[in-house]
Amino acid sequence: GLRMVPEHRAARSPFGLDEPPWVPDKECPRCMQCDTKFDFITRKHHCRRCGKCFCDKCCSKKVPLPRMCFVDPVRQCAECALVSQKETEFYDKQLKVLMNGATFFVTLGTSDKSELMVCRLSSNQRYLVLDGDSHYEIEIIQISTVQILTEGFTPGGGNTRAIGMILQYKVPGSEEVTQMKFTAGEDFNCNRKLSASWLAAMHKATKLLYESRDQ
């Protein structure tokens, strides 16, 4: 499949994954899922996400794979296809929510003062941009932890809603860790809903970020 990748690795999305090395043809005489033997009729196919070797039956689905910069849906094994399909929602919906932004009261470090700021993900997905009287740009790859703050939990399992988050990140060029607290405003009901949606999207983005670091 056609891939559109940045010329320089430093410009790539922090949510991206490297294309895996393919299992060499000579090392997979049988399907790595159903153990069917490959021959002239039963051809072998490689999953674009994991690089393993499968027969057509076990690797027939073509699913979008934006994390590897594929332009069109590509062939994936059943296990990888399920993972990629779940990620599609992030790229189709939640990524747009993050880029559109939401308004929060932001508290830096141990300060007792907060500032009303619009928080959004940059168009290249590499920075969390905060705009108010002050201006911050936090590089996504420098974020070490994200804790989503909720309210409304009950022992019986009642509904909860996201009301803020605590974010820790490293200052470039040093080992210093800075903390920011984001709290949704209570002034307008529509703003609370937007903030909750943004926080949910940020939670999903964080999971993808940690997964990409592990691979």
pLDDT of res. 58 = 95
pLDDT of res. 141 = 87
Same domain as 207, residue 153 = yes
Residue 73, by phi and psi: left (phi above 0), alpha (psi -120 to 50) or beta? beta
* Low-confidence residues of the chain: pLDDT under 70: 10, 153-159, 186-190, 212-215
> Long-range CB contacts (< 8 A, 24+ apart) of 32-37?
33/58, 33/59, 33/77, 33/78, 34/58
Same domain as 137, residue 33 = no
Same domain as 198, residue 106 = yes
pLDDT of res. 98 = 96
**DSSP H/E element including 213:** helix 189-214
Same domain as 209, residue 106 = yes
Q: What is the CATH number of the domain that holds 70?
A: 3.30.40.10
Of 97, 124, 142, the residue that ends a domain is 97
Host domain of residue 156: 101-214
Q: Is residue 130 part of a domain?
A: yes
Task: Please state the pTM of the whole predicted model.
Answer: 0.79
pLDDT of res. 80 = 95
pLDDT of res. 106 = 94
Of 56, 82, 97, the residue that ends a domain is 97
Read off the pLDDT of residues 86-128 as tens digits, 9 standing for 90 and up.
898 899 999 999 999 999 999 998 888 999 999 999 998 999 9
The amino acid at residue 43 is: R
Same domain as 168, residue 82 = no
Q: Is residue 4 part of a domain?
A: no
Distance in angstroms (rounded) separating the CA atoms of residues 161 and 186: 13
